[in-house]
Amino acid sequence: MKNPIASIRKYVRATNYLSAAQIFLQDNYLVERDLNFDDIKPRLLGHWGSCPGINFTYANLNWLIKKHDLNMMFVLGPGHGFPAIQANLFLEGTLSKYYPHTTQTLDGIGYLCKNFSWPYGFPSHSNPGTPGVILEGGELGYSLSTSYGAALDNPDLIVSCLVGDGEAETGPTATAWHLNKFLSPKTDGAVLPILHLNGYKISGPTITGRMSNTELKSLFFGYGYEPIIVEGSDIYTKMNNALEKSLKKIKAIQKRARSSAKHVTPHWPMIVLRTPKGWTGIKTLKGKKIEGNCYAHQVVAKQAKSEKQELLAVNEWLKSYKFEELFSKDTGFIDEIKSIIPKPSHTMGSNKHTFGGKPVYKPLNLPSLTQFAEDGTVPGTIGSSSMRRAGEYLNEVFKLNKLHDNFRFFSPDETYSNKLDKIYSSTKRAFQWPLKPWDEDLAPEGKAIEMLSEHSLQGLLQGYVLTGRHGVFASYEAFIQIVGSMADQYAKFLHSARTIPWRGIIPSLNYILTSSGWRQEHNGFSHQNPGFIDDMLQRQGNFTTVYFPPDANSTLAVLEKCLSSTKSINVIAAGKTLEPRWLTPDAAKTQLQNEGIGIWDFASDENPDIVVCGIGDYLTKEALAAVDLVRKETAKVKMRFVNIMSLSSMGLGCSSCSIDQKTFDDYFTSDKHVIVNFHGYLQTIKQILFDYGPNHRFTIHGYVESGSTTTPLDMQIRNKTSRYNLVIDIVKKAHEQGVLTDEEKDSIVNKYEEKLSNHFAYIQRHGVDPAEVNAWIWPGAKRLVEEE
């Protein structure tokens, strides 16, 4: 092509027109006559300000893809610029594959415009119903980390990421710039960040928009990039040259890394694009500067439906694009525009990595549990760490899937602390920056990523999973809440994506929450927070499950299930300390298959007077200790022990297998009192029980926000979940049912109330729990030794 710049300019004019028309028009879509009030939508919704920069970027990327036959994705940070994405998908022909009415005809343009931001039409933001989109972008900050996640283990892929300058002020984006230190030019793809500086947010200037070019270059060079500034006159030629230079740099970095064993510490290219807010739109209105100011951010001329002056301004604006020169009702868009559009298989809206399913999704090869599980034939035998077993299992998952390069592990600087470091037998921690001789478990092509930014890790995992690969995010339980809002946004995206038939299978997003508050007594109140569990159990829909494996064998069974599942969110809450084994591997799998609930016969009597229920490993142990203590005090009280291994917003059980009322009564009886010892907040389990009818016969124990630097048992006592508290409850309820006399009840209650009272003084004096607590094991069990 002799002059691609001219074609790109016309393409941008067309998409700018279509972007603005979507916001304003419900008729007269080509403005073949002057606009009147009836042509304007009754509600003007959407965001104009960032659209011209998006269109400019997309058009130039299109030409780069076509010229070099590239495999390129596009991730848009400011998702509110959706009219622009929609316009480009329409113009490149992708949209009509999934929305047949959006043909490149007058009727298609009418359908596109009429249905934008219209009830049950097209949303106002990027969304799962948009081909090529893996980021909603309504909540800003996640585009760059998501892009890096998509590029991992995709060596032929380039992810172009447009970061808005408002988005650049967010914490998640601030840390995501550092993710270039984890991207291997040998085995991963590339990310081309394009920081779009249009200068303004909703009502004021952006920080980066007011920085000088010298400051920007210094900042991003320090981050490890080679920034290219694109601005001013002849900006089309400058952008074209910047993209060519960036591509050449990316290819050179990759060629060097892939042809040599020498470690490469690259400075990847990035582009800083300066264009005015609302570029090419209304310049001024009613004495206010619009273009190049915050007033261009959302809808310009908000009263165009009722005020003549604003209607005339919109009329003049739309006519300025001379759309009639670019589109004909008879022949469609002109050939010059079509000439820069990549072939259908290479358009960014059609990129295969954004759709899931074949060929990007491959199920994991998973090992047999028997090679990691432990003998559980003697319940209560102590010598198991759930995280040690999980680390061994995940290590084997890395081995079995090495050829596919489709499994990653993400964690803050906690893998050793969480006792999952066995994975480093098969992989290492990715790190591209200079390595020191004394560094441990670091390597440029490692498949584990550790970074003290939960935001960046969450974004990486989302980008990795949404492009068809598998991952696990392990974190201290208390601090996973940092990504609570990101997880909510992902849940919303997934909720919608599951209803869209052309979105293929993707793996589930898996969390391991360990170092739980119940055993963070040494770190204190700041480390004691099960709130993320509560948040995930609020996610409506049958795709979110929180698992509470009571022992190591159960943890392995849960891991196997989670890594086999698709289109779901799985949360595993399990400890890392040496704890009892309660179930054999087969019993653990059976309980997991039976809605995650089981009656433990070894701790249960026939015809119980009281049902005791444990949910969570440490809480289950305390509940069983209470059962043991009650039996030692009296043979009169008959108890059934029920363990719950999984909960969902749908009720007890997993998200797709919640139990009905009859099954509920089979486990908990229909009339006996039930005492529940729960890992999280009381209200969480109360809300779930509400769906199973009147629950006045349930007494709930759980975390009541009473933390401290203390001892393990005192953490339980402070929250009234200890064995002593439970013994008192069981005895009192048995007395209410006439099982125990007043004297029997008083004798036992007084004894354990005295233990509670004495415990506080004991730990202050000795610094540890009493020997009777630390030495307790289930009757008949053994205490084995395992490396801590």
SS (H, E, C) 494-554: HHHHCCCCCCCCCECEEEEEECCHHHCCCCCHHHCCCHHHHHHCCCCCCCEEEECCCCHHH
- The pLDDT of 142-147, averaged and rounded, is 98
Q: What is the pLDDT of residue 656?
A: 63
CA 124 to chain centre: 22
Assigned token pair, 699: 């007494």
pTM value? 0.96
R_g of the chain computed on alpha carbons: 30
Assigned token pair, 23: 């916001």
Complete edge-to-edge strand list for the sheet that includes strand 597-599: 597-599, 639-644, 610-615, 673-681, 698-703
- pLDDT tops 80 at residue 380: yes
Alpha-carbon span 418 to 387, nearest angstrom: 7
- The pLDDT of 420-427, averaged and rounded, is 97
Helices (H) then strands (E): counts for the chain = 24, 26
The partner residues of 569 in beta bridges, in order of sequence, read: 509, 544
Closest among 454, 88, 16 to 276, alpha carbons compared:
16
**Segments of the chain assigned to CATH 3.40.50.920:** 608-774
- pLDDT tops 60 at residue 786: no
Q: What is the pLDDT of residue 542?
A: 76
Residue pointed to by tokens 């079995």: 400
Assigned token pair, 291: 């273009």
Beta 651-652 vs 646-648: how paired, if at all? antiparallel
Closest among 442, 397, 438 to 415, alpha carbons compared:
442
Q: What is the pLDDT of residue 126?
A: 95
The partner residues of 703 in beta bridges, in order of sequence, read: 681
State the CB neighbour count (10 A cutoff) for residue 352. 17
- pLDDT tops 80 at residue 679: yes
Assigned token pair, 338: 């079509």
The partner residues of 582 in beta bridges, in order of sequence, read: none
Residue pointed to by tokens 């908000």: 302
What value does the mean pLDDT of the chain take? 95
- The pLDDT of 506-513, averaged and rounded, is 98
State the CB neighbour count (10 A cutoff) for residue 331. 9
CA angle 428, 433, 438 (to 5 degrees): 60
Please provide the CATH number assigned to the domain covering 608-774: 3.40.50.920
Alpha-carbon span 136 to 505, nearest angstrom: 18
Coil vs helix vs strand at 721: coil
In contact, 571 and 473? CB cutoff 8 Å? no
State the CB neighbour count (10 A cutoff) for residue 496. 16
pLDDT in tens, 682-699: 999 988 888 787 778 999
Beta 639-644 vs 597-599: how paired, if at all? antiparallel
Lowest mean pLDDT among 227-231, 278-282, 330-334, 516-520: 516-520
Coil vs helix vs strand at 46: coil
In contact, 14 and 340? CB cutoff 8 Å? no
State the CB neighbour count (10 A cutoff) for residue 774. 11
Total residue count of the chain as it appears in this document: 788
In contact, 464 and 409? CB cutoff 8 Å? no
Alpha-carbon span 350 to 259, nearest angstrom: 31
Alpha-carbon span 718 to 720, nearest angstrom: 6
* Cα distances (angstroms) measured from residue 537 to each of 385, 529, 541, 542, 647: 26, 15, 10, 11, 8
Assigned token pair, 169: 């002020």
Amino acid in the structure at residue 312 = L
Backbone φ/ψ region at 180: left (φ over 0), alpha (ψ -120 to 50), beta: alpha
- pLDDT tops 70 at residue 655: no
Alpha-carbon span 628 to 681, nearest angstrom: 25
Banded pLDDT at 392 (limits 50, 70, 90): very high
Amino acid in the structure at residue 343 = K
**Segments of the chain assigned to CATH 3.40.50.970:** 4-343, 369-579
What contacts 614, CB < 8 A, 6 or more positions away?
A: 550, 620, 621, 622, 623, 624, 641, 642, 643, 644, 677
pLDDT in tens, 165-185: 999 999 999 999 999 999 999
- The pLDDT of 230-258, averaged and rounded, is 97
Percentages of the chain per state (helix, strand, coil), in multiples of 5: 45, 15, 40
Q: Is the dihedral of CA 646, 649, 655, 658 positive or negative?
A: positive
CA 339 to chain centre: 38
| Phi–psi pair at 767, nearest 5 degrees | 80, -5
Closest among 510, 515, 509 to 477, alpha carbons compared:
515
- pLDDT tops 80 at residue 125: yes
Share of the chain above pLDDT 70, in %: 98
Q: pLDDT higher for 534 or 627?
A: 627
Give the DSSP per-residue string, 584-634. -HHHHHHHHHTTTEEE-GGG--SS-SEEEEEESHHHHHHHHHHHHHHHHH-
Residue pointed to by tokens 């602390």: 417
pLDDT in tens, 438-455: 999 999 999 999 999 999
- pLDDT tops 70 at residue 371: yes
Closest among 773, 152, 199, 598 to 405, alpha carbons compared:
152
Q: Look up the CATH superfamily of 4-343.
A: Thiamin diphosphate (ThDP)-binding fold, Pyr/PP domains (3.40.50.970)
Amino acid in the structure at residue 515 = S
Closest among 263, 221, 580 to 433, alpha carbons compared:
263
What contacts 258, CB < 8 A, 6 or more positions away?
A: 185, 186
Q: What is the pLDDT of residue 788?
A: 43
- pLDDT tops 60 at residue 787: no
Q: Is the dihedral of CA 525, 530, 535, 536 positive or negative?
A: positive
CA angle 242, 243, 249 (to 5 degrees): 90
In contact, 286 and 34? CB cutoff 8 Å? no
Assigned token pair, 91: 């113009």
Alpha-carbon span 19 to 52, nearest angstrom: 8
Alpha-carbon span 567 to 315, nearest angstrom: 46
Q: What is the DSSP letter of 27?
A: S
Architecture of domain 369-579: 3-Layer(aba) Sandwich (3.40)
Amino acid in the structure at residue 529 = N
Share of the chain above pLDDT 90, in %: 89
- The pLDDT of 54-78, averaged and rounded, is 97
- On the 0-12 / 13-18 / 19+ scale of CB atoms within 10 A, 308 is exposed
